[in-house]
Structures are given as C-alpha cells and as structure tokens.
C-alpha cells in the first residue's frame, strides 16, 4: 500500500510538474532553448525530441560552447499547442555517459514492436570528451517516457546525431554522422547493429559534419542534412532508391543564415501536409549555441523534388481568434514603420512585441480561426506614450474595418477592449494598422 501511495504521488507530481503549454508559431517552444529537432508521429500525435541547450556556467560545461545535460519531449495534435512532458533522459542517469561532458547532442526516437527507442549521442566515460561520441539507447513503453537507458552505448557505433529509419518491410536502419554519414541495419532488438557500419556514398566531400535525417516517400529515400557550402550550415537533400545508398545530391531545402551557424532538421507528414522541423537562434540573438525549434510547411513537386522552404516567424497551424495572438510572429508587414523587438531584452523567454510608429504602418498575421460568430469584441495589450488608434481588418489592407481600438496615452502596458462587427465566420488573415501618428507597441491581440 505504501508503495502504491508513493507511486501515485510520484505519478501525479510528474503530471502536474511536467505538463505546461507552449506558445504557437516560430519558435514553437518558448520555455527553454531547443535544437536539433527530431519530430515523429506516433498514434496521430506529433512528438518532438530536441536537444536542450543551456548556458554553460562555472563547472558546468564549456563557456562559449554547446552545453546540454538532458532531453525533454514535447507533443501536440495541432502543431500549435505543445505540451512539455518534462525530462526523459539526463546525463547523470546514464551509466556510460561522461558526467562532465554536458554534450547530449541531437537525438531521435523510433517505435518498434510496442516499445519506443530513444537514441542519443554523448561522450562516454571510457573514451573521454575529446575522443569522440558514442550513441546510446533508452527504452520506454510510451513516447513520452519514462525511458530506461541501456547500461552501455551501441557497440561499434561512434559518432553523433543518430536518426532511425523504419523501412516499409519493418527493417530498422541507424544513420549517424562523424565527418561522413554512416548507416547500419539495426537488429530486431533495436539495441545492436547488424554487421559493420557503411559509409553513405554520393554525399558532398567537404562540409558534412552532422545531422542526417532519412525518410521514405513514394519509394524514394530522402536524406536531408546540414551542409557547410560557404560559412555556415544550409539544409540540403539527396535521394536514393535504397536506404544504404548510393545517394545523389538533389538540392537545397533551406538557405544558410549568418545569425546561426548550425541548422538541423527532420521531416514529417501530418494530417496530409509535409513539415520541416529546423532550428534558429530566435531567443538568443547574440549567442548561436542557444537555439530554438521552428516548423514550416514543406512541398514536393510531382517529380519528387522538394521546393526550397523559406523560414517564417508565423510557422504553421491555425490560430484560434480567442487565443492571445502574437502578431509579432507576422506573415507580412509594411515596409515602413513596423518592427519587432523583445518585450524584455534581459529575459527573452517573455517573447516579442510589435512596434508601429508611422501612420498607416501595418502588420499581418495569417490563418486566424474566426469560426465563432459570437465574437463581439477585441482585446489588445498595448502601450503608447502619446496614445494612438489601431484599425483591425481581415484579409486585405483595403478591406472594411471590423474594429477600431483607441490606445490611451500612458507609459504602462494596458489591456484595451473594443467592439467588433461585420466579419464573416471562417479562417482569415488578421491585419492591424496604425491610423494615428505616435508610436504604439502591441504585445498580443485576442477576440472574445
Ligand atoms: O546540438 C549540438 C550539435 O550541433 C548537434 O548534434 C548538431 O547537429 C548541431 O546542431
């Protein structure tokens, strides 16, 4: 009985402590830094297994470098509201991991025969940080854990950034990086490889460092990966008719950016749409080792080629009109007088604000669900030293005004309500325009 009570207490505390909701839009997780996203669909739910960047401090990691001591898992059924299920693996709970390494790099998770297998790279105690990484496995009955780590890493596998492909015939493959990309069949127990690793042929000779991801579509095997063509990583893809290769490089999925040296990726199809998960340093603009996961839609052409994905702040998913709409994650904005800034530069996790400071400046946030015809008012959280007037429109900048919001003259953030009328129920693009002179800063907008 005592054990049962203890079990109940631990389980309830786990649920209360670990279930918190994230914001929608890019970046998708805003309560911590997340990188190297491996997204997987299990039972119609999307699970996100990212790395977890933290800031190195004295005695904890190497200042100025990546620092990662554990992994969280997140889930969603609408790509908009994310639940953080808490820590699933941490370096101090894995026997073979060097406890001083703080280098739990890019992971992946796979489902096979009723179990979930979480693969993660880390420097082993036996080899030391400088001698390279091993790859370990933790096993669970559920995609959100608890995961039990194996006592030893996978034999004969040395490198980083594991990815698992389960082929149509059920055969599982482990793919990983180590200067080149490697592949090996996994044994049915998912804990050992069959034979020796094979180098994946056909890939660029230089600039291939990390992050391979493999999936199959219409009989074509796609290998997507970061590649340093010039000075930082861009995302490319290669294809083959066999997971073991050889592969042929086909093109660029996402251009490199100067702000964040790394990029990493995974690809899923969810509810009929393909999505690219990648990362950027949105919440840490001055230090690109603290990254954040983003999602954008990805499109295939009829011949199987992939269109380049243009990174957006808006991200994916439909936003409910009655939720706090973060219009700073905009789809479009006027060339003049509209900008974005952090609400609090000393704590970027508080998010961003929109600044409109020129008459007629506007910002547009796409795909808002106004299906509830009973919506009667708009609420805006805003501040304006001189006061100002906002006009709200749907879909087009010259469409009828559905609400006018007067922002009072004050130095304090205010929540202002105004009436709403004349809109058609449906999914619309929301436009917020400044109709006065003076500066208005907006945190969020919502409809009731
Ligand atoms: O997150 C640490 C390393 O940086 C990953 O393993 C790489 O893919 C790169 O994002």
What pLDDT digit, counting tens, does each position of 352-387 carry? 999 999 999 999 999 999 987 789 999 999 999 999
Domains and their CATH numbers in the chain: 2-298 (2.115.10.20), 319-447 (2.60.120.260)
Please identify, by atom number, the ligand 1 atom nearest to the C-alpha of residue 36: 10
- What percent of the chain is modeled with pLDDT above 70? 94
Q: Are 47 and 33 in contact (CB under 8 A)?
A: no
Q: What's residue 372's pLDDT? A: 79
Is 104:89 a contact under the CB 8 Å cutoff?
yes
CA 127, CA 177: separation in Å to the nearest integer?
Answer: 18
The mean pLDDT value for 125-132 works out to 68
pLDDT at 109 over 60: yes
Annotated catalytic sites, by residue? 36, 210
The distance of Cα 147 from the centroid of its chain, to the nearest Å, equals 21
Residue 200 reports pLDDT greater than 80: yes
Those residues whose C-beta lies under 8 Å from the C-beta of residue 442, and which sit 6 or more positions away, are 327, 328, 353, 354, 355, 356, 380, 381, 382, 390, 432
pLDDT, position 395: 97
Question: How confident is the model over 404-424, as a mean pLDDT?
Answer: 96
- Closest C-alpha residue for ligand 1 atom 9: 262
Res 7 pLDDT > 60? no
* pLDDT, average across residues 303-309: 98
- C-beta 161 within 6 A of ligand 1: yes
For residue 440, which of 419, 410, 400 has the smallest C-alpha distance? Answer: 410
Of 32, 35, 69, best ligand 1 pocket probe by most atoms within 8 Å of the beta carbon: 35
36 lines ligand 1 (CB under 6 A): yes
Q: Is the pLDDT of residue 22 over 60?
A: no
Q: What is the pLDDT of residue 382?
A: 98
Distances (CA, A) of 287 to 3, 258, 291: 46, 12, 9
- Is residue 436 within 8 Å of 361, Cβ to Cβ? no
What percent helix, strand, coil does the chain show, rounded to 5? 5, 50, 45
Predicted pLDDT of residue 112? 97
Give the bridge partners for 177, in sequence order: 160, 181
Average pLDDT of the residues in 158-173:
97
Tokens, residue 138: 């933790």
Q: What pLDDT score was predicted for residue 23?
A: 52
Q: Report which of 410, 382, 357, 324 is spatially closest to residue 81, judged by C-alpha positions.
A: 324
pLDDT over 80 at 220, yes or no: yes
**Pocket flag, ligand 1, residue 290 (CB < 6 Å):** no
pLDDT at residue 303 is higher than 70: yes
Q: Ligand 1 centre from 277 Cα, in Å?
A: 14
**Which structure tokens are listed for 64?**
């100025």
* Per-residue model confidence (pLDDT) at position 8: 41
Which long-range contacts does 268-274 make (Cβ < 8 Å, 24+ apart)?
Answer: 268/39, 268/40, 268/41, 268/46, 269/41, 269/217, 270/41, 270/46, 270/79, 273/297, 273/316, 274/298, 274/299, 274/300
CA dihedral over 191, 192, 198, 199, signed as positive or negative = positive
Residue 18 banded pLDDT, cuts 50, 70, 90: very low
Atom 3, ligand 1: residue with shortest CA distance: 105
Cis? peptide before 27, omega within 30° of 0:
yes
Concatenating the DSSP letter of every residue in 273-287 gives EEEEEEEE-TT-TT-
> Do residues 405 and 384 touch, judged by C-beta distance below 8 A?
no
Nearest to 118 by CA among 152, 150, 86, 151: 150
pLDDT given at position 202: 98
Q: Strand 220-228 vs strand 273-280: parallel, antiparallel, or unpaired? A: unpaired
Cis peptide before 160 (omega within 30 of 0): no
- Contacts for 318 with CB less than 8 Å, ≥ 6 apart: 78, 80, 367, 368, 369, 427
CA distance 297 to 407: 36
Tell me the average pLDDT across 303-329: 96
Longest CA–CA span in the chain (Å) reads 72
Mean pLDDT of the 178-196 span? 97
pLDDT at 5: 45
pLDDT at 297: 97
Pocket test of ligand 1: the residue of 56, 106, 288 to mutate, having most ligand atoms within 8 Å of its CB, is 106
Task: Work out the pLDDT band at 126, boundaries 50, 70, 90.
Answer: confident
- Residue 59, Cβ neighbours under 10 Å: how many? 6
**Cβ(104) to ligand 1 under 6 A?**
no
pTM > 0.85: yes
């Amino acid at each position: 009985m005592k054990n049962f009570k203890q079990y109940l207490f631990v389980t309830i505390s786990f649920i209360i402590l670990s279930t918190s909701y994230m914001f929608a839009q890019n970046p998708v997780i805003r309560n911590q830094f997340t990188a190297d996203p491996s997204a997987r669909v299990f039972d119609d739910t999307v699970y996100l297994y990212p790395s977890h960047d933290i800031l190195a401090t004295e005695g904890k990691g190497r200042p100025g470098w990546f620092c990662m001591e554990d992994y969280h898992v997140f889930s969603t059924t609408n790509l908009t509201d994310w639940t953080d299920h808490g820590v699933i693996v941490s370096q101090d709970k894995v026997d073979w991991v060097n406890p001083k390494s703080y280098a739990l790099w890019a992971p992946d998770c796979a489902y096979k025969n009723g179990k979930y297998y979480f693969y993660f790279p880390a420097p082993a105690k036996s080899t030391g940080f400088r001698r390279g990484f091993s790859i370990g496995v933790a096993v669970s009955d559920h995609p959100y854990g608890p995961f039990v780590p194996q006592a030893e890493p996978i034999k004969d596998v040395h490198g980083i950034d594991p990815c698992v492909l389960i082929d149509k015939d059920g055969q599982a493959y482990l793919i990983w990086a180590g200067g080149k990309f490697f592949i090996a069949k996994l044994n049915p127990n998912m804990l050992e490889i069959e034979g020796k690793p094979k180098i994946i042929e056909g890939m660029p000779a230089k600039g291939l460092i990390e992050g391979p991801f493999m999936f199959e579509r219409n009989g074509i095997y796609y290998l997507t990966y970061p590649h340093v063509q010039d000075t930082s990583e861009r995302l490319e893809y290669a294809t083959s008719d066999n997971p073991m290769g050889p592969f042929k490089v086909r093109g660029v999925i996402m251009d490199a950016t100067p702000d964040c040296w790394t990029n990493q990726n995974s690809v899923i199809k969810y509810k009929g749409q393909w999505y690219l998960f990648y990362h950027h340093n949105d919440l840490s603009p001055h230090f690109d080792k603290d990254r954040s996961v983003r999602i954008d839609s990805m499109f295939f052409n009829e011949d199987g080629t992939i269109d380049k994905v243009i990174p957006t702040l808006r991200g994916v998913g439909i936003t409910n009109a009655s939720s706090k709409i973060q219009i700073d994650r905009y789809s479009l904005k006027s060339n003049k007088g509209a900008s974005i800034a952090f609400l609090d530069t000393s704590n970027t996790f508080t998010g961003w604000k929109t600044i409109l400071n020129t008459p007629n400046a506007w910002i547009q946030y796409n795909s808002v669900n106004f299906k509830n015809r009973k919506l009667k008012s708009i609420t805006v959280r805003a501040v304006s030293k001189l006061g100002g007037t906002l006009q709200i429109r749907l879909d087009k900048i010259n469409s009828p005004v559905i609400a006018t919001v007067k922002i009072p003259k004050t130095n304090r953030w205010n929540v202002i309500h105004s009436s709403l009328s004349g809109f058609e129920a449906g999914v619309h693009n929301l436009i917020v325009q400044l109709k006065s002179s003076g500066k208005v800063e907006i945190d969020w907008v919502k409809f009731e």
